Amino acid sequence: MMEPCTILIFGSTGNLATYKLLPALYHIEAAGRLHPGSRILGFGRRDWSDDDWRARVSALLGEHFAGRLDAEVLRRLLGRLHFAPGDVERPEDFRRLAERLRGAEGLPPNLLSYLAVAPGHYVAIVEQLAANGLHGEDGGWSRLVVEKPFGFDLESASILDRQLRQHFSEDRIYRIDHYLGKSTVQNILVFRFANLILEPLWNRNYIDHVQISHAEARGIEERAGFYDGVGAMRDMIQSHLLQMLALVAMEPPPNLDAEALRDEKVKVLRSIRPIARETVHAQAFRAQYGPGRSGETKLAGYAEEPGVGHNSTTETYAALKLYIDNWRWRNVPFYLRTGKRLGQTNSLIAIRFKHPPQRLFQSTAIEKLQRNWLLLNIQPNECMRLEIQVKQPGLEMRTQTECLDASSCNLPPEHIDAYEALILDVIEGDHTHFLRFDEVDWAWRILDPVLKLWAIERDFIHTYPAGSWGPLEANRLFDREDQEWRNGL
């Protein structure tokens, strides 16, 4: 059983808490993983009592789970909930918060502070936690969970890190990347290192290229205030996709200790060939969705979305070509791609193998041998697939692609969200699936030359129709004409 703790959520009435954290806490409650003494304290600007928040959470979860809500689990969860009205910019509200945490309600002294707020509030919250003695480990541990984006570029990330570490040591900061909590992403380690059959093939001698894609059918919806000026490169590639690249490319760690795993990921990021200013356009591409259609439905372009300026050059599509200059991966291109308003929502790692070294079938009816692919689908369905070539039934020598699917491919998308596992990891003090600052630092170093050039090229941006698979111009990143984007399983 875990230790009792107080989960303090800043921004408890916002979208992240509403759609991710509270449903995750419900699932954790259903699994019986919280200590009976643990409590959840919301902090927000609403002038609510504990009962007001409980009623609000009950309604939200009822809507979220749509008839699948367990009344007993909900009762137990609501019994843990408390609410502290306050504004993160007002020191007096933090003084009242500290008094309540130390008061007669018996809130556990172990404190998990979750910053589910805009990044601009991080420093103010941390300074007020420190000013009121809520950052130390006198009566219990104090841990800080920080959401992405961690900084806006290399310089701002370094400044933010220094400010946070004035009051919280590295071992008490948990930089969350929810992709690392997804079971298929975690399964990459098992898939690679628990199967000896793969290791001889996992290198430049056999792999032609690697694609890592995250596609979203949705647009930015009501998030223009956050998204405009941030863009796809910072939002997805700097964090999620570079983390998946590191897991695919890393060397076997000496053990599964958090620091050993993170050491190997940092080695990969440090080995990525720097992008020179003059090669940015050869290795990076950006675009923005314009008006389009999804079936009979008309879709607005990005510049027509509420809150977006008509002359915005914020990218909603970003693609990047990287090379890892080490013994295993030298000259194997890694293609990273993300976009909004694409054909469908899907996240995929696609690994294409090279052709066999000898053309044995050129005198047969086989016109072209298809490549072998290894596909790891992350969401919405979790699936592992190997595509191999077999002979077609019949008299002639022809081939067809046979798909070898894991049994999980036939299961419906799982309902367990990555946040559940990650919240439990923080309570247990496990850093394995969280980012160390040097990972963040090297990820920004990789992208900084691209972002700096894009920042001054604000007169033009390529567009693609909403509902399509992105701009054809992005194909210029490929090293060879026979390479193309893999959009799904």
Residues that are catalytic: 240
3-state secondary structure (DSSP) of residue 124: helix
3-state secondary structure (DSSP) of residue 130: helix
Whether the CB-CB separation of 214 and 240 falls below 8 Å is answered with yes
- Six-digit token pair at 169? 């040591």
Paired with 16 in beta bridges are none
**How many helices (H) does the chain have, and how many strands (E)?**
15, 18
Order of strands, sheet of 173-176, starting from the edge strand that comes earlier in the sequence: 81-85, 39-44, 6-10, 111-115, 142-146, 173-176, 434-435
DSSP 432-487: TTEE-HHHHHHHHHHHHHHHHHHHH--S--EEEETTBS--GGGGGG-SSTT-----
Between vectors from CA 448 to CA 444 and to CA 454, what angle results, nearest 5°? 140
Order of strands, sheet of 346-353, starting from the edge strand that comes earlier in the sequence: 399-405, 383-391, 373-379, 346-353, 207-215, 333-339, 317-323, 284-290, 462-465
Query: How far apart are the C-alpha atoms of 382 and 452, rounded to whole Å?
Result: 36
Place of tokens 């070898």: 404
Helix (H) / strand (E) element for 290: namely: strand 284-290
Query: How far apart are the C-alpha atoms of 217 and 380, rounded to whole Å?
Result: 12
- Six-digit token pair at 439? 């990972």
Whether the CB-CB separation of 127 and 235 falls below 8 Å is answered with no
Contacts of 481 (CB under 8 A, 6+ apart): none
Q: Residue 39: which of 97, 92, 99, 111 has the closest Cα?
A: 111
Query: How far apart are the C-alpha atoms of 121 and 84, rounded to whole Å?
Result: 17
Peptide bond into 108 cis (omega under 30): no
Whether the CB-CB separation of 316 and 185 falls below 8 Å is answered with no
